[in-house]
Structure 1
């Protein structure tokens, strides 16, 4: 087996032998797709492996696939072989037997390895190996590629109703929302499909590919070229389909499909996931047939025909004739002999002189709503608007110079509209609302005065991005308390309520910048199921986009650390509390960006690969949330540029925000950075004078390091110094029997140590110095010594005063023992404290190890643990 250890040595031995016999000229070459390959959980993984250079090129080669996972990169796991059914390890055996994992030949020298549905733990480094059947080894017989398995964050939805009904030649508009939260650079493509009844496969209507190129589907090319079918991207996540003239063949189920693409290192694009929105059933009804070629049919309808002052009147006009799409018309609305408005052959609106002021104030609105359909709205109506209304149409012939020639007019049958006066004192007041942030809840309040009958309310919106004065209905609340949403808002969290008799409220959750604009509250008064009066008020609302008030910043107090130290990164997300997903990533080199973890808006956490050194903490504050990423005992693998990125989850779609700044973390091998003050001194003291040998540390490598200090004494006439006193890093003290009774140890500051010789005699003369070791704790290495340095020499001459004194006289001993006893007590307390810390932080201590004290240093003071 190529992937086994035995095979590894066999292959390499024979490979070296082949190189020797063939003078190093490599012939066999094995290759797979260059990595890293980013794939989504649940999607297909396909890796092609090719080999060339064998002498027997036409003979079928046998291949094997193995994997090394991030959690244990040195352990190789067998997956599948083309020649050995027992090759697989247990964790992959069942998936191989069921056919979920396959390895198939596409030629004698090429295979395709596939995993039908990727799992998170399939991430790792894959190796393809070819089994050599020839006598010599000469070349490269295996190749590797890295696969990263990421979460599926693609979201697709369509707010349309599940069933729609239109007439032939009507215009259809549908919207689809698609977004992704993948941190890697990906592109989205989107297509609309029509699945006709009785057919197995859906037909693409039109698509927008990953490079923003529009492509009509088969059978829709002509209508696309004529401008009758279009697909527009509205903002970051919304895609709009327009079909200007529906045909009977358009009947069926329509849905949108989004695909997420990623570019592999070989520059090819790959679909990592795709999702479909819910289907919308479309019914298309046939139009009424016009009697002959020259006939022109004009119709008018009024809704309602009986209304009261202040209400809204809609006058609809339709024109029908043969070859309608090839002809031009002018259409006008008239009340008696007064022309309200006219729409010319090119769609330009002109208003009659009696209605120009009302049009400027928004009380009259008219538009062409389809090839044959026109609409005029009067609101609020007045009593003098009562009368008979007709629609008048003129055929318009267009000459070669572009000028129009007007033909004979054709009138519709008149429609009588009755408008009665009302004595109601109904009035409406809309409370002003300041700007709101994207993702927040918009709440509007309408106060009503002069209430006499039952009331209903209709909430409408006019987008800030449109120039048309027309309002779109959001939601209404009837006089019986029944709520009705507009079909465009069926998927939105919108509520119309009446908390008190004279108050109506509108609540719209998770607003977006497209919700900016003018909002209108129209309150209607009813009597005996008849609307008697309507009053409206408006207010302007601005929705600030999320990236204008949510800011992401990454900081760290320390970015250059030695191996084993901790690093704390802080990702500060400033702004209001909205659902958001945060991803930590690490870039180790220019081409590779690895996810560390993703904290989702619902609290779930997804870790990527082997991340046992990382810990996560979240701190909520009033106007910001701080996400902490703690690197415990940093190694070289944790070095690189860190970044946090945020996406918010609004209206069931993800919206990416600009990523934070990058913070580079550098992990270095600890160096000699202890230093000791190397002062040289020569002292002449009498036997009645104490003298002190200081050991002061000028600089240390890390604030977490501790010191071990040993003082040495070299007597006159001796060739080697001897240790006389040691203080270990756990505060354990050790002294020589020869001088233990006349020594006093002091440690006034963290970087200052000193040893005083009490009551010296001439026999205490000699050279004194200290040696300092710096030790650093590490989760991965334990305690390790990172530096060692000697101080300068103190040459001491002690001359006698009177009779010579004994070295261990009681006066010296008693004082010294008191000092040593105090030091031992303090040291014991510190050791107990260290013991508690060690018990809390250390697990699995080997049996027989002492927790109370470190072993003493040898005379060279250089042992490492």
Structure 2
């Protein structure tokens, strides 16, 4: 039982622990794009904290792009002083708010965004101290502030007037230049007279869905209201039948939408165009259901010659939309134009030529509105104008049956002639033989402005344009006249000519010369005259034939020109018309046998064969080439009365010259798999048999994601050209060569990941035609799939701790070396130096960064700005990154760490980090100069009389730095153990201070750089005592200024000051003592000498036999110590 209870207790404990919540803080995902000046709202909520109904406290902070490592406090729900200065005023003015939506969620709002608000906004949940849960207490939202580029305009007059039932068309221009992907919605609004709110007419939402306004929905479904988008930025509103209730102000409103990362759409800005006022007049009542009401209105009834006449015709009837009408405009009994019930425009004979020149235009511009424009008007255009409408009923066979016509009231148009003396004169009757050239001359008089001419030819009852010559001298050939050899010229100021080559009987017609006078691009006057032309035919026939008209390059072609007719001397001309309409004269065979060549004489051979029924002229083309392709004709003229008269032009015979079929065959490896950074060779070979003159051009293309990029082209003369899309750096890596036979090799050095894909070898075979020109056959291609794989990463740095000690002011160099890694052009490195100060709170702060794109950056840090200004980053080799510190300061001491990241481009051309390694730490200690000051410390004693002087020396024997400065202080001490007293100070700034107040004269001396002295004059007995100096060494510090680095004290000088009598007595005593000492020394010396003489004599007496032996050691070798063998 106890075991069961224990198990139950354990289970309950585990259940309680497993039920602890995990904190989750969420806010809107970014980036959020908002327009400058618009509002911003970010929601933030938290879950997982205890007390679901307990209010949670939130804080909002922001990190700006310029300083990503520094957060700025914005607002807090619990602390009113939370905001930094940059946001405190806006928070106080309630421009920035943070409101609780529920106990666990808040809404952060900025009323008007500023450009500087862009950054990473962070929502932080304040965790109560008494509760600790795992999870996230913050969430970030990136906000981008963009410019407002939306523009809306309504290009129409500010006031419009229409009749009830008329059609209204308005155009609104709306566009945006926002870089981000946005959608526009546009709506038309009507603010009726006397009402404050505007009514939506129709709108096109961001998904291109049309939505009619509530009060216009019925008319929209009936098709009476339409909104069309014309192009990128034009929105056209069309209201087919205006109602009296439509009167008011109409404007368009555009909204710009963006899709947030949560897939919701948000309006970032909206603008209204300037409104236009619409007046709607009540319509006339139609008498009965079958009647038509026709009205004509003229914008301006009194005109001058050259101006525009605008005739508006309005037709009203019951059920007009269900009826067919034909509407015509008339001047008196002359019909200008008619719009048929099918919408086809027909123009009266008198105005057809003016309609072709664009002077007359007519169209239906609404359900009841028809408009005709005539410009420029002439004096003969004046008179009474009518509109005539006729109902049309469709019969069972589909044909229209005209009903009773209704005519509007007349409208008188007066056109006054401007002063002009323009007159035109031309020969009224002209005759010309068939084959000859027609030349018409039009004389002009009374010219003031610029002139243009139009030559027309009457076909049945209307005139057709042949050719025109504008006032700027531009010639325009119309319709069938192109290619007929027609020309218009102005050989003199008052003369216009028309020339038509090789006329035929069908050219007989009435020709009209219409001259117009222009001023400032407006036609002000026009005059015309006609001439009747008759072409007399010549009875002859010319026929051109060929047995073979389609040949391959190099084959021969024979053409035969058969001339039948009277036996008269003839001249034959062979003509070639190319496909581009150019005419080439090959040769001319004169009636007297002379031949004049215009073409290549080596290409053609001429032959003549006389027959009873005519003459056959043959033209042989030797080895045809594409330049001889075209349409051949022979032209025959009769030589009569010493004049060549054109007889006839033969039919055309087309000669086609084809290229031979290509037999080109290629081979290349279908697949290659290689490592990145290796050299790759792709071979493409021609395996088919070549023609005798074959040469090859090769193009290599790189195919990725369905797109081809030209790498390089090798033309037939071996000239290599790189593709325009190939980067300059890639041109150093890619090359091509031709190996043995007909093989072409593409070499890619140091292959990158971006080189992966399909490589297309496209070969074009070139052949030489008989004339020496080269032509190409259709290209053939082969594809090789290149797969690049990445070798394993092996980035390693030289690791290990280093300790560097430097003197202040020295230059320090820290070295970070790559031990192993890739060094190909496709691999790039980013290096960052991290610093931690010894005596400062700076920890793991980035000093300097050199990114993989070569951009050098110094992260913002006020405390390290001086150190960053003395840094120099160098890369002497590919594997070395050196950091130099110039003029090291003591405060630079700390640890440095080198962090290296390896980057490489992926298939999409994006940079990817492949590896990251760190080296260090490098410990740097910067010291000031070492303490090495030394002063002479000799102890001396000196007796001096009151009338004498004594000098207290102070000598510095060792100086550590040439920049040192000294401060010397002399002290006096009555005797050892008694407090010392300063008597004189020589400061380091050359200021002297005498601190002896007894009135003794002190003299300071500085005979050498390191020697100082103080002389005391006329001392008194009470000045006896110990004298010494104290030296302070001062050095300049780069970070602290001048500082005291060492203090040394000299030895003591004991000075006894006596009166003059005491001095003489002391001197006498000292003399007697010295005499006694000398006598004692002399007696001792005589005694020692006597003892030595006695000893020598005894030695000579006992050892006389060995008197010749020397006492030097080399003559008396020492015996070795006896050993065990002795």
TM bucket, shorter chain: 0.3 to 0.5
- TM-score between the two structures when normalised by the length of structure 1: 0.47
Larger Rg: 2
Structure 2-normalised TM-score? 0.37
Larger RCO (CA within 8 A; separation ≥ 6): 1
